[in-house]
Structure 1
């Protein structure tokens, strides 16, 4: 199967938990200089803090403030109540469409995500280069985006196996540095400290839709229970019936995988018959209770 450059490319995202200290004291020269500047501004009871690193990573944090006698201040009570909320939903999103030169990976885990350097090192060990990153905090949710290319060539990754390894690497770091995420991730059963309390019913969780996305391609949407190697299974199924994947958006949202693929057959959109064949094949394989994990 031919996979266009617009598709598989590595990107990873990890987020700092407030406050911004994170692990900057551990920054290694492999990645960037530890020098940075902070700038502050207040507007409408919002304190905006930006941190610029020489690596190209930008951090923007919006912190709601309480007004006491006309003076802006952070409410310790509200901060404490936020910390006592339930464990947030961990989300890993791999976006192959938005940037023509690099894959974007976005990670969010409420306001708890950290271990940026460890994640960057893990990605570098996969032969990847983090060309830039952005960190944005809004409404107590921290979102980090990494723009990633192959270290050797500077190009996007076209290998689906490597893309799956990137996804699992980020999830494994989540489990390592935030063990409380174990119960919210499907991988928690295999790699975490505690399996999810309630598993998804695969039959109920699986939804597959195919629709035209222009004359030359179709949009395939898959929602199903997440598991290791899921992306490889999906790609293999499409390759077996000669369907070409042009680009994709791959999202892991807790126990659920929500993936979008731009696909074609002989440079044309899928007709009704082929769409039905694809849907039936995917539904059969995705609903199998067992997954051969030896190959992942």
Structure 2
């Protein structure tokens, strides 16, 4: 056991921070590596202790929530005989049923199901029952509204604050939002984008303050809402400018930017991984490259390790097809590099 723990001590932290742990295939592969609930428990304890001891300032509630979620999902996979696809389908059905029971008390069922029909199955898998109820209520309460909706809540399960933006689908939305969040001094830990069939985009960002705490206080929340709404309500098309980026001390890190692509066959998406030095407005610049290349972003995993970032983006082309062509991948890679690499 000890020898296995030494060999595998980085596996859990890398899986939690760099992969989509809401994907059953990821959980299945991690469970295959761990093999037993006993090994899982020991590896979980070792990972938490190692991460907190190695760099206490980098530990935060978000990382703790990721490890906890990975532990729970993997334990379930190791202790049941149900295959990943069946377990996935049952979870979606259960989440829908429980959410519907709560929503029926306020809304006509046909309106609920009509709205849900425009959403993907992944939406019901990736969101909790409370999250589904909350977001559905907001959409039904403001049906027909043409201006953006913006809400901030403390999300205990995510270990941070969740900023929810409901708006019409349009160019540069991700780039503008991430740029402003950076300017406001917020660190984005996770991003998820769901574009419904009716042209509405539901964007969820889990953020932390620079000291690793959740957003707190009415004044701070009001500042964030006011700044975001002011920019999102500006005349289209939205554009990214240098004013969207936080002013920080310029530092040089000899880190070569590495971009790689892999395929998520189960969800028909391409995973683009970017390892580079952290810098102001990084996510906004990447988002702008996506817009220029007509790339659809579904979710993003953000991992900051020291002065470096290791980000994974789950993307498709404008027709919701994975980027399987090497020419497509190379063009996107060149566009991203043009945006994020400093001009000499």
Asked which structure has the greater RCO (Cα within 8 Å, sep 6+), the reply is: 1
Report the structure, 1 or 2, having the larger strand content: 1
TM-score of the superposition, structure 2-length normalised?
0.36
